Amino acid sequence: MPLCTPLLDAEIALPHWRIGAGPRQIAAADPDEDAVTLAWAAGRTLLDRHTGRSVTALLFGSTSAPLTDGANAATLVSALRLDPRAVLTQEFSGGTSAGGAALAAGAALASTRPGAVLVLLADSRTSAAGGPLGSGAAAVLLDSTGDLTLRITPLGPASSPAIAYARAAGLVTANPPFTRWAAPASARIAGLGDLGAAGAWISLMTGGGQADENGLTADVDQSWRVAVTGPDHALGALRRAVPARRGAPPRLSGPPPTFRPYYSAPQHWRDGDEELALVGMRCAECDAPEFPAAPSCPVHGPAAALTPARLALSGTVFTRTRDHVFPVGGPLTMAVVDLADGARFYGQVVPGRDVAIGDPVALVLRRMPTAADAAPRYFYKITPTGGTDADQ
Amino acid sequence: MPISNQVAVVGTGVTRFGELYDRSYLSLVHEAATAAADDAGVEVGALEAAWLGTAEPQLGALVGDSAAAVTEALGFAPRPVTRVANFCATGMEAVRAAALAVAAGEYEVVLAVGAEKMRDLAPRESLVAKTVEQSHPVIAKGRTAPGQFALVASRYLHTYGYGRDALAAVAVKNHQHATHNPKAHYRTPLTVEQVLSAPMAAEPLGLLDCTPTTDGAAAVVIASRRWAERNARQWVLIQGIGIGSYAGYYPALFRRDNDFLGFAATRAAAAAAYRQAGITDPRAQLDLVECHDCFTITEIVNTEDLGLFAAGTAAAELLAGTTTLGGELPVNVSGGLQSCGHPVGATGVRMVAEVTDQILGRAGSRQVHRARRGLAHNLGGPGAVAAVTILGAA
C-alpha cells in the first residue's frame, strides 16, 4: 500500500561545473558550496514560484550534511526566509535512503498538518580519497492543493538497506569531515554522478527515471520507489533538462593555518538569522531599503520609522574589482550590486566566475571563510546570471 | 570663538618616514615632538596639553592606546594628554582637537603629535590580518584597503573613459616630487611603464598605485594667535579646519547614495573649512594642496571632491600637469602618501607640517613659488570620515 500525498511543485539545483565527459561526467560544486547551499538554491527557486504560501515544515535529507546536530535545517529555514517559530524541522541522514525517508515523513506530515511541507534533498559527496562523486539538490513542495500525486512504495526486504550495505561501495566522507558515513554509493546518474540522497528525485525530474502510465518514477537506494502521477501537462512541467557545463571548479588557496577570523557566539546568536535571510532596513521616508540595518536612517536620522526589510536577491553590477591581496580563497572578485529593490549589496563573486559593470547578477547562499576547525558560516555571494558567461 | 585666523601653527617636526626597524614608537613620538617644540622655540615643559593621533595601537603592541605614551616619551606628567583616532584621518583629528582647545581659550600653546609603528609586524600579520580576521564574520568579507579603493577606480575609469595610465600619472608625479623630500619613504622616480607593469593588487590598482606601510611620526605646536604674535618666530594661521562623516564603516560601501566617484565626507569637510576660511573658488584661492593619496585613484577623486576640478576632469588636469610642482595648483609636492608612506596617525600631522613649511618658504627644493595659502586633506576608512585644514600666511 503506497503512501500517497498531493504534490504541488518541485525543483532541482545543480552546481555550475562538470568534471569528465560522457556518462562518467559528474556535477561538481564550488569549494564554498555544500549540501546546505545546494538545498537553498533548489528551495529558493521553488519557493519563488509560490510566494505567500505558508510552509509549516521543512525536512532535509542528506548524507553530507555539514553539521550533525540539526542546525542544517534551521539554517535553511532562516536562509529561505521562513518563520523559524512556525516551521517544524527534521533532518534525515545515515545513508542515501535518507532521501526516501524525508519524502515519506513529508508525505505523512502533509496529510496531517495544514500548510505546505518543503522537502529538501541535497548532497555534495566525496569519496574516501577526497575526490568529488557528484553534487546536487532537489526541493519538493507537498501541499493539499497540488494536482500531482506523490506515491512512495517500499521495495521490500530483499532490497533493504542492509543488502545495500552488504554490497557497500566504500566509505563516503562528508565535506568537511565533521562526519564520516559508512554508506553505500547511490545509483549514478549519467552525466551528473552520485547525488546521494538527492539522486532519486533528480533522476525522476531529469528523465533518468521511467516515464510511463505510472507517471515519473525513480528508486531510492533499492529501498523505496517514488512515483509522481497526474495530468500530462503537470508532469511535463516537472521535467528538467540538465544544462551542459564544462570545466572543473576552481581550486582555491585555503585559509592560512593561522587564519582566525573574528567570531563571537553572542553576535552569531543576535544577528545570524537576519544575515541568513539578508534582512536590511526600510525607512518610511525612503524609497528603497538599506543594508546593513542601522539604528538610524542615513538620510532621515534617528527619529525615522525603520522596519526590517528583506533585500532583493537579484540586480546589476555597479562596480567591481579583482582583489589579489585578500589571503583566503583569492584572488577574489568583489562587486557592488544595485539590487532590484533599489538597495545596494557589496560582497564576493562566487569562485571561478567574474562580472563586469552592468552585468545581471543574483545573490546566492555560500559558505564564508572560517577557521579550519570551525563550523561553517553562510552568507550571500554574487553570481552572474546573464547569457554571456564570463568564466575564467 | 570661531576658529578662523585665531589659532596658529608655530612649529613643525617630522621624523624620517620608512621602515624604521631601529626606532621604537616612543622614540618617534619623542623626535617629532621635540623637533616641533625646538622649531617653535618653546620648551616641551611649556606645552600645556597634548593630543596624540594613533590609529592602530595594536600594530605596535598596544603602545599608543592612550596618550600616556606622550607622557612617557616626553616626561609630560602631570599635564593633560588625550589620544584620538578617526581611521586614516586620525592625524588631522589630533591637530583639530588641539586647535579647538586653544580656540576655546583653555590653553595658549599645545602639542599635536601623530605616530604609527606599522613595520614591527609584517603587513600580513598586522593591517591585512586586521581587515581579514578582525572584521565582521560575513559582511563585506573579502574587503581589503586596495580592494575598497579599486571599486572607486573601476567606476571612475568606466564612467569617464580614462585608462590605467591616468592612475599611474599620480604615482609618477608624486614619486618625482618625493625626490625633493629627504624624509620620504620612497625617493626614487618611477615611469608610467613601471607603474603599469607592477603586480596587480586589486584591479585596476597595481602595487605601485598603493601607498606602502610605513613607520613615522609628525608633530606641530599649536598656539593662540595672541601667543604666536608675542612668542613665535614664524607661524601660519589656521583659516579653517573641518571634519565630515559618511554612513559608517561597513555601510559606506553599501549605501545607495555612494556614487563610487568620490567621497561625500570630503565634500562635507571641505565645505566646512571653505566656509570658515571664506574660500569660494578653491582652485584660484589655494596655492598648494596636500591630499590623501593612499591609492592613486584617491588623489584624483579627492581633488574633485575638494572642488579644485569639475567631476571627471581631475585626471585630465593631472595629465596636463596642472597638479605638478611648477604647475597651476601643485598637489602633494611632499610626495604624498604614495612616496612618504602612510604611518596612519602621523599622516595628517605631516600634511599640516608640509603646508606650514611651504607657506613659511622653507620647503627647500620642493618649495612652491609664493605659497600663501594651502590645504591639507585626510580621508579615513572607506570614505567614512574626512578632514580638511586650510592654512594661510599670517
Instruction: Kindly list the distances between the CA atom of residue B49 and the CA atoms of A203, B65, B82, B368, in Å, as whole numbers in the listed order.
Output: 77, 17, 8, 33
Chain B residue with the nearest C-alpha to that of A276: B138
Extended strands (E) in chain B: 7-14, 50-53, 81-84, 109-116, 200-202, 205-206, 216-224, 236-245, 288-290, 373-380, 385-393
Comparing A230 with A113, which gets the higher pLDDT?
A230
C-beta atoms of A288 and B256 within 8 A: yes
% of chain A exceeding 90 in pLDDT: 62
Rounded CA-CA distance A224/A197 in Å is 12
**Looking at A8-17, A130-139, A208-217, which range is the least confident one?**
A208-217
Name the residue among B137, B144, B199 with its Cβ closest to that of A261: B137
Question: Is A253 at the interface with chain B, CB within 8 A?
Answer: no
Rounded CA-CA distance A228/A213 in Å is 11
Chain B residue with the nearest C-alpha to that of A332: B142
- pLDDT for residue A157: 57
First to last CA, chain B: 19
Name the residue among A264, A327, A344 with its Cβ closest to that of B132: A327
Span B7-123+214-236 CATH architecture: 3-Layer(aba) Sandwich (3.40)
Residue B154, burial from CB neighbour count under 10 angstroms (0-12, 13-18, 19+): buried
Nearest CA to B5 out of B239, B241, B229 is that of: B239
Digit-coded pLDDT (tens) for A285-304? 999 999 999 999 999 999 99
Question: Do B316 and B188 form a contact (C-beta atoms < 8 A)?
Answer: no
| ipTM at complex level | 0.96
Rounded CA-CA distance A265/B174 in Å is 46
Residues of B acting as catalytic residues = 88, 342
Residues in CB range of B215: below 8 A, 6 or more apart: B17, B18, B19, B20, B23, B28, B116, B117, B118, B119, B120, B343
- pLDDT for residue A327: 83
Rounded CA-CA distance B138/A382 in Å is 14
Rounded CA-CA distance A385/A317 in Å is 11
Query: How close is the nearest chain A Cα to the Cα of B178, in Å?
Result: 26
- pLDDT for residue A126: 85
Digit-coded pLDDT (tens) for B33-63? 999 999 999 999 999 999 999 998 877 777 8
Q: Do B7-123+214-236 and B136-211+239-393 fold alike per CATH?
A: yes
Question: Is A320 at the interface with chain B, CB within 8 A?
Answer: yes
Complete domains list, chain A, with CATH: 3-238 (3.40.47.10), 265-384 (no CATH)
Extended strands (E) in B20-177: 50-53, 81-84, 109-116
- pLDDT for residue A374: 81
Got the DSSP string for A69-85? SSHHHHHHHHHTT--TT
Three-state secondary-structure class, residue B150: helix
Three-state secondary-structure class, residue A65: coil
Rounded CA-CA distance A195/B26 in Å is 62
Query: How close is the nearest chain B Cα to the Cα of A264, in Å?
Result: 9
C-beta atoms of B247 and A298 within 8 A: yes
Chain B residue with the nearest C-alpha to that of A378: B138
Got the DSSP string for B198-240? SPEEETTEEGGGBPPP-BEEEEEEEEEHHHHHHH-SS-EEEEE
> How large is the average pLDDT for residues A142-159?
83
Residue B195 DSSP class: H
- pLDDT for residue B279: 98
Question: Do A315 and A338 form a contact (C-beta atoms < 8 A)?
Answer: yes
- Please report which confidence band the pLDDT of residue A387 belongs to, taking 50, 70 and 90 as the band edges: low
Digit-coded pLDDT (tens) for A99-131? 889 999 999 999 888 899 999 999 998 877 778
**Looking at A40-44, A63-67, B81-85, B101-105, which range is the least confident one?**
A63-67
Count of CB atoms within 10 A of residue B54's CB?
Answer: 32
Mean per-residue pLDDT of chain B: 96
Please, which residues bridge with residue B107 across strands? Answer: none
- Please report which confidence band the pLDDT of residue A176 belongs to, taking 50, 70 and 90 as the band edges: very low
Three-state secondary-structure class, residue A158: helix
Classify residue A13 as left (phi > 0), alpha (psi -120 to 50) or beta.
beta
C-beta atoms of A262 and B150 within 8 A: no
Residues of B within an 8 Å Cβ radius of A: 124, 128, 132-147, 150-155, 158, 199-205, 247-248, 250-251, 253-258, 260
Question: Do A26 and A125 form a contact (C-beta atoms < 8 A)?
Answer: no
Classify residue B222 as left (phi > 0), alpha (psi -120 to 50) or beta.
beta
The class level of CATH for B136-211+239-393 reads alpha beta
- State how beta strands A132-142 and B50-53 pair: unpaired
- Does pLDDT of A39 surpass 90? yes
> How large is the average pLDDT for residues A14-35?
93
Best probe of the B interface among A346, A366, A370, by most B CBs < 10 A, is A346
Domain boundaries, chain B: 7-123+214-236, 136-211+239-393
Best probe of the A interface among B125, B131, B138, B157, by most A CBs < 10 A, is B138
Question: Is A377 at the interface with chain B, CB within 8 A?
Answer: yes
Question: Do A297 and A306 form a contact (C-beta atoms < 8 A)?
Answer: yes
C-beta atoms of A368 and B137 within 8 A: yes
Question: Do A206 and A228 form a contact (C-beta atoms < 8 A)?
Answer: no
Name the residue among B155, B200, B253 with its Cβ closest to that of A346: B253
> How large is the average pLDDT for residues A194-201?
91
Pull the grid cell for residue A72.
542544517
Digit-coded pLDDT (tens) for B286-312? 999 999 999 999 999 999 999 999 999
Count of CB atoms within 10 A of residue A232's CB?
Answer: 8
> How large is the average pLDDT for residues B139-156?
96
Best probe of the A interface among B124, B128, B131, B151, by most A CBs < 10 A, is B151
- pLDDT for residue A180: 40
Chain A residue with the nearest C-alpha to that of B260: A319
Q: What element of type H or E holds A6?
A: strand A3-13
Name the residue among A323, A334, A345 with its Cβ closest to that of B254: A345
In this complex, how many residue pairs, one in chain A and one in chain B, have their CB atoms less than 8 Å apart?
127
Count of CB atoms within 10 A of residue A303's CB?
Answer: 9
Question: Do B113 and B94 form a contact (C-beta atoms < 8 A)?
Answer: yes
Rounded CA-CA distance B290/B378 in Å is 9
Question: Do A314 and A362 form a contact (C-beta atoms < 8 A)?
Answer: yes
- pLDDT for residue A220: 75
C-beta atoms of A336 and B253 within 8 A: yes
Name the residue among A264, A324, A344 with its Cβ closest to that of B254: A344
- Does pLDDT of A51 surpass 90? yes
Residue A234, burial from CB neighbour count under 10 angstroms (0-12, 13-18, 19+): middle
- Please report which confidence band the pLDDT of residue A323 belongs to, taking 50, 70 and 90 as the band edges: very high
Chain A residue numbers touching B158 (CB-CB < 8 A): 319, 357
Count of CB atoms within 10 A of residue B344's CB?
Answer: 29
